[in-house]
Amino acid sequence: MPLFEYVCGKCGHTFEQLIRAAEAEKHVRCPDCGDTRVEKQFSVFSARSAAGPTPLPTGGCGRCGDPHGPCGLGG
């Protein structure tokens, strides 16, 4: 089931809604004021891995971790 983010056109409340079918999206209401004038927002995709986060690179450059030396960004 996709999770979509919306903002209410009446009260400005932002909320998330699970949508089971394309037809159900036509009936989304603001949970605060009940208005149907909601606008779908762009959201960032997120995923989790069982391995955990990737460690940041380390090396010759203190800013970007490039093992070949300073990247020129300054320190």
**Shortest CA distance to 35 belongs to which of 54, 62, 7?**
7
Domain extents in the chain? 3-41
Question: What is the Cα Rg of the chain in Å?
Answer: 21
Q: Looking at residue 25, what is its pLDDT?
A: 79
Q: Looking at residue 10, what is its pLDDT?
A: 97
State pLDDT tens for residues 9-45: 999 999 999 888 877 778 999 999 999 999 999 877 6
Burial class (CB in 10 A: 0-12, 13-18, 19+), 8: buried
Question: Is the whole-model pTM more than 0.85?
Answer: no
Are the CB atoms for 33 and 21 separated by under 8 Å?
no
SS3 state of residue 5: strand
